[in-house]
Amino acid sequence: MFTYDVAIIGAGAGGLNTAMEAASMGKKVVLVDKYKPGGECTWAGCIPSKALIQLADEIHTAKKYANIEVNGKQIMSKVRQLIKKAHQAEAVEQLQAAGIEYIQGDAKINDQHSIRVVDEIITAENIVIATGSRALIPSIKGIDQVNYLTNENVFQLEDLPKNLIVVGGGPIGVELTQAFQRLGVQVKLVEMADRILFREEKGLAHQLQSTLEEEGVQLYTSAKALEVKQANGTTTLTINRNDVLEHIEAEQILFALGRKPNIENIGLDDLGICYTNKGIEVNEYNETSVRNIYAVGDAVGPYLFSHMAGFQAKQAMRHAFLEMHTPIEQHPAWCTFTHPELARTGMTENEAREKFQDKFNVYTVSYSELDRAVVDQQTTGEAKIICDQDGFIIGASILGERACELLGELQLMKTFHIPFRKLKDTIHPYPSYSEILTQLSNVATE
């Protein structure tokens, strides 16, 4: 007999969702983490970044009508207040109320049915690894001699810097770049690719890039970081851009170059659990190479989002306790929370072309054709739908106001294999941003 039905290592998005899913099934659950519950998303990711973005957006709007003096200390203090408020839903008391036992300590897998927490052995029928990820730090000259920022410490700043170098033009880097720029920080964004958000639709990424530049961001694309130095309160980054060396200076430097899974020193090798440098290998049920041991979230990938961690948690627990032998089909969706937002599910047009050659259709509608966007003065952006020859959605990207919410309807159609033409029979309120979906369906059925 085991003490618990499931023992979970890691109390971030993956671990919390796993614990709640198992508890809802009436299972006896123990959740272990060396820190407070919440993980990366609550303390250094989704929640603080969105708090900063919202404050920045409000100030950016106010600046259009009045001279606004930004108090950096108040801004950063408010961000931390909002983090604490959001954490209340994940407090230990809330977990206990749901029937989940929480243990704070460093955990390691002991064998197929037990984990070790310090000197205590805890047995469980199933084990779930949800250890998350951490910021990826580049191996460039001088990195060990400088004080740098990542998403893990930037929200602990007491005040806003006057200027900032951001290295990395992916979602995290772009979101923070715009937020700090809108708060009055002069931001210099360095990206190795020839554009920001290089995995997204090229045309939409270019539109967003233009917005950043219009707001004053200094952009360095096709640039490779070579060396970083700090002296007398100034950080200097040396880059190679088009075979020309350039030196960029700012008060602070922030690295936003992706994530690295936290899978060291948790017992994977001792049990023969298969993994790569990208994460733990799992099957379609999120079960590892060792039976009854599952892994979810950033420790697995490839989609490093809290909502995907939640999906994987549901997948794992249904398989473990409901004998579910048919996996849920994955339809990942994500959003970059800039202004305008950039949301996506499925393929880009280039990806569709690689797979289907020319056997697909693309439909687009500009936000400038939307009455609500015109009166709101939010006409930057475009919605783009890609359908196969049978009329089913294989990809959708939206750049524009409320893009993340608009994507949900398309995600529903894609997930449940509903022909896109059916959207034409759906009534959307006027004037609303959702009308852009009506316009897309009209274009598709012309």
Where residue 382 sits, what CATH number does that domain have?
Answer: 3.30.390.30
298 assigned ligand-binding residue:
yes
Asked if the peptide bond before residue 302 counts as cis, ω within 30 degrees of 0, the response is yes
332 assigned ligand-binding residue:
no
Residues 245 and 272 grouped into a single domain? no
141 assigned ligand-binding residue:
no
pLDDT score of 325 more than 70: no
- CATH number of the domain where residue 65 is located: 3.50.50.60
Residues 154 and 245 grouped into a single domain? yes
Helix 202-214 and helix 171-182, axial crossing angle in degrees, nearest 10: 20
Residues 113 and 193 grouped into a single domain? no
pLDDT confidence band for 446 (50 / 70 / 90): confident
The predicted-structure confidence for 118-163, as pLDDT tens digits, reads as follows 999 999 999 999 999 999 999 999 999 999 999 999 999 999 999 9
Residues 125 and 266 grouped into a single domain? yes
50 assigned ligand-binding residue:
yes
Q: Where are the beta strands (DSSP E) in 313-404?
A: 333-336, 341-346, 360-366, 382-388, 393-400
174 assigned ligand-binding residue:
yes
390 domain-assigned: yes
355 assigned ligand-binding residue:
no
Query: pTM of the full predicted structure?
Result: 0.95
Q: Are 274 and 169 in contact (CB under 8 A)?
A: no
172 assigned ligand-binding residue:
yes
Residues 120 and 156 grouped into a single domain? no
Residues 122 and 239 grouped into a single domain? no
The predicted-structure confidence for 398-407, as pLDDT tens digits, reads as follows 999 999 999 9
| Residue indicated by tokens 């801004």 | 75
37 domain-assigned: yes
Q: Are 115 and 103 in contact (CB under 8 A)?
A: no
What integer best gives the mean pLDDT of the chain?
Answer: 95
- What pLDDT is attached to residue 364? 98
How many CB atoms sit inside 10 A of residue 113's CB? 18
- The enclosing H or E element of 317 equals helix 306-321
58 assigned ligand-binding residue:
no
Residues 122 and 164 grouped into a single domain? no
258 assigned ligand-binding residue:
yes
Which domain does 67 fall in, by range?
Answer: 4-135+260-321
Farthest-apart Cα atoms in the chain, separation = 69
161 assigned ligand-binding residue:
no
168 assigned ligand-binding residue:
yes
59 CB burial (10 A radius; 0-12, 13-18, 19+): middle
- The enclosing H or E element of 7 equals strand 4-9
346 assigned ligand-binding residue:
no
138 assigned ligand-binding residue:
no
